[in-house]
Chain A
Amino acid sequence: MSKFTISRRGLLKSTAIAGVGIAAPTILTSRAWGYTNEPTGGTVTFGFNVPQTGAYADEGADELRAYQLAVEHINGEGDGGMLNTFSSKALRGNGVNGKKVVFVTGDTQTKSDAARASAKRMIEKDGAVMITGGSSSGVAIAVQGLCQDAGVIFMAGLTHSNDTTGKDKRANGFRHFFNTEMSGAALGPVLEKEFGKDRVAYHLTADYTWGWSQEGSIKKYSEQLGWQTQAAVRTPLGAGDFSQYITPVLNSGADVLVLNHYGRDMVNSLTQAVQFGLRDKQVNGKDFAIVVPLYSRLMAQGAGENVKGIYGSTNWHWSLQDEGSKAFVSSFGKKYGFPPSQAAHTTYCQALLYADAAQRAGTFRPSGVGAAMEGFKFDGLGNGPTEYRADDHQCFKDVLVVKGKENPTSKFDVLEVVEITPRAQVEYPASLLGGELGPYNDGA
């Protein structure tokens, strides 16, 4: 029966009111000090919950490739990838806590309901102790909430909204990826250097929480530089043709266009903005500039040559030359024949970080794993020295500012790293974004 669905404390309280009799059968089935899906055999199950249909299907497929690679490496197959460069040496290539890692997969469809259904299947049917993956913040927050209730760890995939480790953070959830606040902080100095202090910005913002959050952080940091914000226009998600939002920019007097769009919206709005001549325009005696705060190399490919010279930020890029990145690109490229995306990188790291924490904790119990992860400092995973901050379960590391490459050598080579903004510049106090972690839930 529902061994993991009843939180002990809540149950005791509620039965005190309702009378003991009714809930008794469910108590009997739960083991005394167990936790949800405690692995009993020789294997431990991870749940990889990625978009396989819909707009982010390719990103999801890349995440899945990275997960498979990570599982191989944890189990001691393949060339070991970033395990060799990872600063923690707890994992020895024999699985985790002596158990071989197996995995199950599911399709989030980039919809909260579908993602939760898929995660529930992994927890209820397949016995997963950890859920990871995803390619949008709405989904990440929804699944994170679910994992908290069910008592398993959630290792977020590609989710960039502040809320994931801010307003909606949960004790059982951890994020390696950066967020809109860090994007703004990282982009600020570069924008100043490239475009000066006297600029007028025009925002086009995807009309949902992530978009607003991104718009807010860019506004905040650009206005600190002395920029003015001329307008911030909300565009419907999936508008397709953005011409009706772009033409007002033409004669508005603004000289910077900020596209707070991601995925297909980004591809379309950027393509169309370039089509309307904004990249080559002169306004106020300055070259007009377009900024895309969150870049994804996969999506940049969709915009083709339109990304040339466009600035943005990214979590990781395969052209990085540190040992960790080189090991990962080599391992991934050998297996699949092309370089990994940032989505692949963050999910690979998340799988490794979870396995490592569980190994160090000697258990898969969420509170144990979480304690091992909190405040954990590591290096060698491609982003330089990194820390999983205990206060909000957010990784703090350097952020890459990139720009569309003028002369790409291959179809994967579309971005170049302009600046690696050091961690200190993008760090913020946990209280800034609000929210409560709450206690760990071990479930069962």
Chain B
Amino acid sequence: MERTSKLNGVAALFETPDEIMAAAEKTAEAGYEKFDVNTPYPVHGMDDAMKLPPTKLGFVTLAFGLAGALAMLGLMTWMMTIDYPMVIGGKPFWPLPAFIPVMFEATVLLATVVTVGAMLAIYFKFPANAHPLHDTDYMRAVSKDKFGIMIEAADAKFDELATVEFLQSLGAKKIEKIREIADPEPPIFSKRFVLLLAGVFVAVALGTYGTLNKALFYTPFDWMSYQPRVNAQSASVFFEDGFGMREPVEGTVARDEVLYEYAGAETHPEIPVVNPLAATKENLAEGERLYDVYCSPCHGYHGAAESRLRKQFPLPPSLHTEKARTWEDGDIYHVIHEGQNTMPSYARQLTEDDRWRVALYVRALQRAMNASEADVERASEEASDE
């Protein structure tokens, strides 16, 4: 390491632990503050000799130990009791006995790691390889088996000659002057470092994306997101036509299948069929909803063929014609089930009860659109007393 001429301090080497103890006491008594004793191993009693105040590291440990315990308790309570409480083994949502072990572990972890971290980073201000003492004969000797005192130039009482003389008076075997370091403070963001940063960023980003979105979905990883079964409305490799769902064999009758005996018949049913559903409030409300969903695109909301299909589909006749109003319920059901002229069959989209509900609502619509006087009065009375 290049050195500048500026003096950092003076260092003296001693042979035996007793010598260094005596030297340290004398240096302290001599009034020096910014001095340090370097020994290959901790020498008992040196702290008192150098009159050092007791270390406060213990309080850091206490603080972070408690913090660890409480933080862990809080974390576990929030997770198991507040955020997602689950019934586990009949235990209450706040199983304190089960929290104790993990709290203890967190206490120990935080206490020890933070203490050492604090000691190294704050007390010692490590890493400090750039300290002037390094790469000097003094440091090599002290590292092995010698003991040394180093008085810094910055000390108030420091005077180059007087201090050297003082050290010799203590019986130092060897005195060495320690110069400041000349190497410049290297810049943090050198070109190569920025390149490295970019490389790390890209590598980690691609790695994360590749793993989370791609790699984790190959054999043998199995997440059961796609299972070897045929879901509803899914493709199948087994059948040539690619349909996962199969048509039932014609001529078979399912357990709760309702067969409409006039299916395919041209004319309407001869025997008049009355709507089996009672005109209750629910049936009518449901009928209205179904009408608005399935019938209103062509027949309009009020059955007067105000179609919303932008004239792409021929207009149906109005439901309020004389012919329509005199139809039997069975006829309306038949048209819904079979369709008529351009109107397709709605048997697929409406269940049997729903078809009768739509028929009910159509009847109500027809009555409403050309209501008699009596209807109007009764309607207004009901509206008023609601």
Partners in one complex: no
Residues of chain B whose beta carbon lies under 8 Å from any beta carbon of chain A: none
